[in-house]
């Protein structure tokens, strides 16, 4: 594997790492683009807390990668880093779990299944979640900027596929949130935003993940098996111990598998359903059926609308 070295990196970046596919790819891109990387995960009592285990596992894999450091005759001490070690913290907010009304938190309603554009996905909105996360991330980024006296970026994994069903993914929210941050803090001009996937979607993010794994000298499957996109992970106890598997029927899983189908390679994540562990092939076939049915529904809606307009 031929590594590619970037000697013109930015200085500091703070990444909000959920443990999902998008933010994990964003973390790889940050490692490739910045000299120092701070990653934050949030435990707010989510049912899919397994994502936090995956986030920690990914950070451990990246920090302990033997290809991270290489010999360089002209570098101090004779060695150079391909990328820096990640400063990673998990922020405990689980005291909120009994106060938040959402299907995504413990004690909430059942997480809906189906296509990610269906209206029932509104049940997966967590009130003000991104605002809570943004406030903490902004505070950390500003603190890094103040300590170093250097500009610091906040990495956002927002992309064109973010759905309007989530109000805190909309540009109007981000603009208002940024205005409040700058109004309420001295030195906020030292903090900027980095949004490398703004014009892409999950598929293009995954494509970039392939490229980044090559650049950083890491294994694609080892990275993405350490990510958890499922909102309904399944806990299975076996002779090999306790394991968390991704479901393949919730909207978040459907969207992830759709991206892997487009990429043309199997998802290394482990999947299961009510019968136990299943193959990726089983998950893929189910998702292809969901996507086909959704496409038919959309076609019928357009045809009905056109018919009514003609009348």
Axis crossing angle, helix 50-63 with helix 21-33, rounded to the nearest 10: 20
Q: Does this model's pTM top 0.85?
A: yes
- The span from the CA of 45 to the CA of 210, in Å, is 32
CA 264 vs. chain centroid, Å, equals: 20
CA distance 81 to 88: 18
Give, for 90, the enclosing helix (H) or strand (E): strand 86-92
pLDDT band at 298; cut points 50, 70, 90: confident
CA atoms of 273 and 199, how far apart (whole Å) = 34
Average pLDDT, the chain: 88
Percent pLDDT > 90 in the chain is 64
**pLDDT for the residue numbered 307:** 65
Of 34-48, 95-109, 280-294, give the lowest mean pLDDT range: 95-109
| ∠ CA 281-285-289, rounded to 5° | 170
Number of residues that make up the chain: 311
Report pLDDT digits (tens) over 236-253.
977 666 799 999 999 889
Please report the domains of the chain, with CATH numbers, ordered by start residue.
Answer: 10-230 (3.40.50.620)
Instruction: Tell me the C-alpha distance between 154 and 123, whole Å.
Output: 28
What pLDDT digit, counting tens, does each position of 163-182 carry? Answer: 667 788 788 889 999 999 99
Per-residue pLDDT averaged across 273-301, rounded? 92
**Which residues partner with 245 through β-bridges?**
234
């Amino acid at each position: 594997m031929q590594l590619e070295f970037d000697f013109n990196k930015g200085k500091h970046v703070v990444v909000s790492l959920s443990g999902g596919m998008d933010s994990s790819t964003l973390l790889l891109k940050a490692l490739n683009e910045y000299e120092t990387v701070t990653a934050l995960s949030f435990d707010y009592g989510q049912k899919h807390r397994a994502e936090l285990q995956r986030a920690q596992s990914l950070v451990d894999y990246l920090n302990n990668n033997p290809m991270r450091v290489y010999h360089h005759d002209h570098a101090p001490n004779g060695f150079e880093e391909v990328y820096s070690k990640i400063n990673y913290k998990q922020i405990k907010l689980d005291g909120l779990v009994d106060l938040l009304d959402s299907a995504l938190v413990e004690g909430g309603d059942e997480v809906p299944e189906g296509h990610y554009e269906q209206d029932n996905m509104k049940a997966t909105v967590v009130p003000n979640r991104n605002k809570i996360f943004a406030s903490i991330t902004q505070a950390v980024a500003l603190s890094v900027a103040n300590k170093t006296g250097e500009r610091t970026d906040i990495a956002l994994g927002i992309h064109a596929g973010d759905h309007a069903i989530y109000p805190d993914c909309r540009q109007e929210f981000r603009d208002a949130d940024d205005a409040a941050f700058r109004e309420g803090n001295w030195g906020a001009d030292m903090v900027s935003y980095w949004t490398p996937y703004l014009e892409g979607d999950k598929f293009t993010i995954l494509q970039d993940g392939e490229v980044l794994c090559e650049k950083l000298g890491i294994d694609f499957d080892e990275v993405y098996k350490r990510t958890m996109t499922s909102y309904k992970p399944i806990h299975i106890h076996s002779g090999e111990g306790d394991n968390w598997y991704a479901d393949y029927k919730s909207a978040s899983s459907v969207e992830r598998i759709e991206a892997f189908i487009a990429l043309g390679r199997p998802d290394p994540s482990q999947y299961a359903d009510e019968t136990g562990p299943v193959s990726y092939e089983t998950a893929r076939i189910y998702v292809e059926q969901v996507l086909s049915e959704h496409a038919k529904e959309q076609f019928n809606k357009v045809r009905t609308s056109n018919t009514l307009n003609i009348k």
